[in-house]
Structures are given as C-alpha cells and as structure tokens.
Structure 1
Amino acid sequence: MGGDLIRRRLPGGPDTAGTRPDAEPRRVVPPKTVGIVWALLALNTLGSAGAKTVVPLPRSLIQMATMGALVTAFTLALAVNLHLRIRPSAFVFLLTLLLVPSVISSANLEVGYGALFRCARLGLFVGTLWLLSRWWDGSTTFVRHHIRMYFAVLVSVAAGLVVSPGTAMPEYYGGRLVGALWPLTPPQIGQYAAVIIGLTVLLLLGRMTDKASAAVIIVPSIVLLALTHTRTATLGLLVGLVLAISSLVLSSAAARRFFAWTVLIAVVAAVAFSSAMQAWYLRGQSQENMSNLTGRAKVWDALLAAPRTTGEKVFGVGLSDKSFGGLPIDNSWLAVYHEQGLLGITIVAAMIIALGGVALLRPPSVPRACAIFLISYCAISSYTEAGLGDASPYLLHLALAASLLATPAPATALTKAEVPRRRIPRWARR
C-alpha cells in the first residue's frame, strides 16, 4: 500500500491531486452522515395520515417525528457542509422557484396557518437538497441509500402483517395491505415497493449488485406490491422498467437477455393467468367505478369548476393537505394548480422536462437508466397521486434522478490534510 502511494507521487505519474489541466476528475466521497440525512428526508415524507395501527399513534406524535426528522436532516447536512459548497442543479433551482407561488398564495391564509407551516417544511426540504448537492456526481451512491431506507419501511410493513394480519389487511381498505406499525396506505406501500424493485433490477443488470442481494430485495417487495393491489405503482414499475432497460439494450447484453425473457414470461403469464390478473386489476370494482377512477373524476371536475380569482388562478390558494371539499385530489397536476396555480404547474412541468431532456442527452449507463426509471415512474404516478408540488417521496425520487444525471465534479487540488503521506521505513528514520 505504501509503495503504491509512493508510485502515485512519482514525477509523470497519475495526478491524483488534480493539479494538472488534464487531470481526471476526483470524486468527493460523501461521509456516512449523508446516508443518514437521506434516510431522514425519506422519513419526513412518510406522512402522518393513513391506516389504523396495532398501537394507536397520535397524529401529533407522528407529525412531531416526521418534522423532527427534517430539522435533524437539515442540521446534519449543514454540519457536514459548513462551507456551503453546492453544485449547480436545474432541478433544485426550479424547486426553489416553486417556493415563490407557494409563499405568495399561503400568505393569504386562505387555507389556514398550516399553509405557512408547509411552506417552511418545503423550504427546509429544498435547503437540505442544496446542501447534499455537493455529493451529486452521477454515481449510484444515493440509489443505495434510497433502496436501504424504503426497504426498511417495507420490513416494518411485513412485520405488521405478521404481528396482526387483520389490522394489516383491513376490510375498510378492501383487504389491501396497509401499515400496521406505521400508518401507511396501500398506494404508499405500493410506491415504495415498485421503486426499489425497479432500481434493484437495474443495479443487477449493471452488475452493481449480486443476485442473492437483489433477490432479498426484489422477491419480498413483489409480494408486498401484489398485496397492496396498487394499479398505479404496478403500471409505473412496468413502464418505467421498459423505458429504462430500453436505454441499455444497445450497450448491455445482460439488458437484452433480461428484456427478451421478460417479454416471453409476460406473454405466457397473460395467456395462462388472464382471469386471475383481471380479477386482481379490478379489485372487485364495477365498470362504472373504474370509469370515473374510483371517484377521483368527480373531485377533479368539482375542482376545475370552482370559481377562482385571477390571483388564485396564477398563484393558487396555498399549500394544503392535497384535498378539495374534504376529499383527496389524487392528481399532482390538479393539486399544484389548486395550491400553487398556473405558475406552479409551469415550474413543475419545467422540472420534469429538464430532467427528461438531460437524461436523453446522457450516454447509456446504469445511472442514466435509473434516472429514466424514476422520471417515468413519477410522471405516470402524477395522474392518480399528488405530491409533485410539496415535500413528498415523489420529489425525493426526482432529486435522486437529478443526482444520477449530475456530471462528476471537476478535478481540484487536494488540501494539505488530504494529500497521502509517504510512509518512511523505520530503518530510514535513523
């Protein structure tokens, strides 16, 4: 090891300090604290409303835990980045601009003081992402943090299913899987399962993980996804993987084999289990209920028909709990229009377009494929799920995509403390 370090410092050898103009970029390795910060951001976006749990948890206690996680995340991110070194990011910049209509509309207090609280939460969320952007270099480091955190959430869901099956699959949710230890809804669980399945499959295709480790993540996640009966998450997973793997087909033999086998298995399953798959998809609902998207269309029509002033059309009514008339909006675009107006929709659309455009311009790679999967998944889910205009798992998924599309930092000279010291043999010290 000592000899290797000595050779690196010989004249004409590799310029690991980055002092020559042609030096290769030196990756800034993120400290372990960065992974903790990412996990705390994910914890903050779990939400406080959902199913009944085995041990009743007061909503105020859950909100205190999630908000405390965000404050802690910001504090830790600031502690490891005291010099406030950030990297340019169009995504985080646009997300910062989204604060403008959010604050302007929330200042009217049309939806109460909770709107200002949500603005502060979004501001802390964005500030933490800026601090973490220093370590966004196009590597899969944050992908692994993402998978670990959400797999831990799924482990808690599975534990709740074992401890109390009746609570985990209640009748008021149609027998769909919910969080029995932490109040999580079926769409939430389906989202987390679908995202980590897709990311793990792509890491496996890129040989960035082994088959055994991938199976530990993928197999139980597929089971939990099936138990949630979440159509949006399943569709987002399938379409996202098709687009992501297609971006690797020309450069990866493993991707070509996986794509071919997946198509073959899908065709066989569609023929052999068509009736079972149709029953799973319908979830016992009537055709009329399916046509109005389980009641969502009625809420959407009422929201669009509601009278609005010019200010409300442009800036919205302020950050709320993503509901209208006491019913969930369940559409990111309509929720943004309701809360942040047409200006908010423009900014959110610009975020998606910017990420998608950069992804198309990047050369084929596993990080690019992961970014394509996340962008396409969020775009599909935005039709029946809200969250693109406020601190949510969807914004965290897109932030992960932004980190994957970032270019490596330019080479910089090592500080005196970072330069490896030459190990002098004991005999030479005499």
Structure 2
Amino acid sequence: MTAPKSRPSRPLIGHGSYAEALRIGEILRKETVGGALLVAAAAIALVWANSPAAESYFALRDLKVGYAPWHLELSLGAWAADGLLAVFFFLVGLELKREFVAGDLRQPSKAAVPVAAAAGGVLVPALIFAAVNWGNAEAVRGWAVPTATDIAFAVAVLAVIGSHLPTALRLFLLTLAVVDDLIAITIIAIFYTSEIHVVPLLLFLVPVAVYAFLAQRYRRYFHLNPAAAWLILLPIGVVAWALLHASGIHATIAGVVLGFTIPVLHGKANGEPEAGPGLAEVFEHRFRPFSAGVAVPLFAFFSAGVAIGGIGGLAAVAADPVALGIAAGLVLGKPVGILATTWLTARFTRARLDPTLKWVDLLGMGLLAGIGFTVSLLVSELAFGIGTPHNDHAKVAILAASVMAALLASLVLTGRNRRYRKIEAEERVDTDRDGIPDVYQQED
C-alpha cells in the first residue's frame, strides 16, 4: 500500500501577489520621504529645546488656542497629537481595511505569520518594560511605549541600506507594521482612556454614519471630484473628531473609524464593475502627502523636543527604570518577539521560510521594527503626561533606542544587501508574455 503523499509546506514568507508587490513598493517610496521629514523635524526640535532659545520652543509648544466651552482650547502640541495625528490614523484605517478586504491579509494563510510576528513584537517588549519597572505603579503605565513600530522611520532606513533586499522582506516589514498599528490603536482605545462620557460617544456615531453613507453611496463622485472630500467629508469628519475628543477616548481613533468607512472595492456603472482604483486607494494617494509631509513631522516637532540637561540629564535618564525599560523593549524585545513567534509558527505549522530568505534577514527586520517613534511618543504622553520627568526621560529613551535599533539593523542588513546584490542576476525569474514574473502567477 502506497503511503499518502504529505501536503507540501507553505512558504512562511512568500512573494505575495504581483499587484500587492507593486502597491507595497509605491507605499514604501512615499514613506521614505515621510521618514526623512520626520527625522529632520525631530532633530530640529531636539536642537532647539537644548539651545539658549529653549524657552521659546516650549512656549510655542504650550501655546493654547481653540474654543474653551467645547473643551477644544488645546496647546499646539496637543493639537498636533490629537488633531493632526488623526490624519495619520485615517491613513492607517484605510491601509488596514484594504489589507483585510483586498490585500494579502484577507487570506488567513498569509496573514498568520505577520499577525503572529506583530503580536510577539508587542508582547515581549511590554513584558520586558513591566519586569524592569515592576512595583512602581506610575511607571508601569508606560508598558505600551516600546511596543510600537514607526513604519516611516523604519522604511527610510531600509531605503538607504536595503536597495537589493527581496521584495518578500519589504512586504513582511510593512504588513507587520500595519498589524502593529492595529494593536497600538486597540491599546490606546482600551488602556489609555481614563473616563468615557456616553452622550458625546453616542453622538459621535451620527456623523460617522453620515460620513459612511456619503462615501459608500457617492464613491464615484468623490473619486472624480478631488475637492469634494475636502468640502463635504472633511467638515463631517471634524465634527466626529470633536465628539470623540469630548467623549474621553483619544481623538485619533476617529481617524481610524472614518478610514474604515471608505469603500475599498470598485463601484458599478451600468451593472459592470468600474475600472481603476477603489476610493480607499484614491484617498490614500491624495492624503498621504499631507500626512507624511505635514501632519507627522509637525507632531514629531512638538513631541520630540526635550531638554536633556547635559551630562547630568543623561545620567538621570540612564538611572530611570522607565528609560531602561523602553530601550530594552525596543532594541531587544522587538527582534526577540518577532523572531520567536515567527520560529514558533514555522515549528508548529506546515509553514516554512521562503528558500530565498534566511533567518538573519528576519533578524534585520526585527531590529528595524525596534524603531519606535511616532506612536511611541504619543503613548508616552498619554501614559505620563506632557512635561513630566518620566515623559521627558521616555522621549530621550525612544530617540536613543530608535537610533540604536537603526544602527544594529544597518549592520545586519548592509551585509545581506551586498549578498543579494551579488546573486540578484541568478534569482531573476522569467517573465511571461505580459511581462509579469512567473513567480507571481504561481499559487501558494
């Protein structure tokens, strides 16, 4: 009797679809510019905050504007964190919905590895931070600070050092970061909401419903008329944001919710599906430049400025368990968590590592994921409050750990990039008559 053939193992990290690879490549190029602006804004803030004119920086950050009766008299720093960053989270919502509706994450077999890796990359840093700060209730509030990955910063580093790395690795990093963002959003909504006001929260659902109806019903109109989103949808979105802010839930969550209301799939004209990109992709293309070029850099500018205070200040940071927990979580916890969960997925399932990749490649990606910036700074402010010693020390630790993670990732991936460049000619796949690589035509 012939023994049944075993089911072939599934690649642990595959090439993904051809369309997905093209889309990911376009996102990476845009995020690279955003990452450079992010770093520049943070550097300017850090230099200004430690210059003889430091008082002017903090006066600008703490300048309050807005309408007090509506609880909207906020400092410029708070407006950047609560308001402008909502645009960033709107794009996160668009990207998450696209991944789960039309991207590779709609297939459980492809979603399992990045979801597991992202979960491990959140759990292990949080445990490290909690262990270092155990017994200090005030400090433990910052357990989520080292769990976030800044995709713009990470991609900016990857663009410099990884020009010849396989597409599968780039796809893995971006997908992991998308899932990481989803986890971060959930953490902010659940663990950093101290009090919920029910009436504004219920009223928040009204503009969201109107926003969703208009976006779904008139998707073709908003597709063809770029100004319509600014004149019609934006005011409704601002009302939804203000109501969620009044409810006590962090207002950036409004951006995610509104992003999820935008249709991903094409509409129909005369009973036939329309050609071209869906509205979610159109909105992502329109609004990403504003997010990457204005919203996120301004947030970084108002959040990254901290007076270090010379050698004595650095010594105080180094002695603070909060800073140590953040640094250890980002630099060690992220790669350990990502590698461990990926290995466990390979060990206890039929998945296997794509033959073109090595585990050292994933180590480099894990180190890159330790670059925590935008969301880490936001969570730090939510956990400790603006201007507190713990928050100032946390900012320094986030900056230092992100730089360290970038340097370590560069050491690992630069060598791997040289190797892939040498064998690139051997790895080129044949293309069919349409010019699409055969590897993208194959089923998993």
Q: TM-score, normalised by structure 1?
A: 0.30
The higher-RCO structure (CA 8 Å, 6+ apart) is 2
Bigger Cα Rg: 1
More helix by share: 2
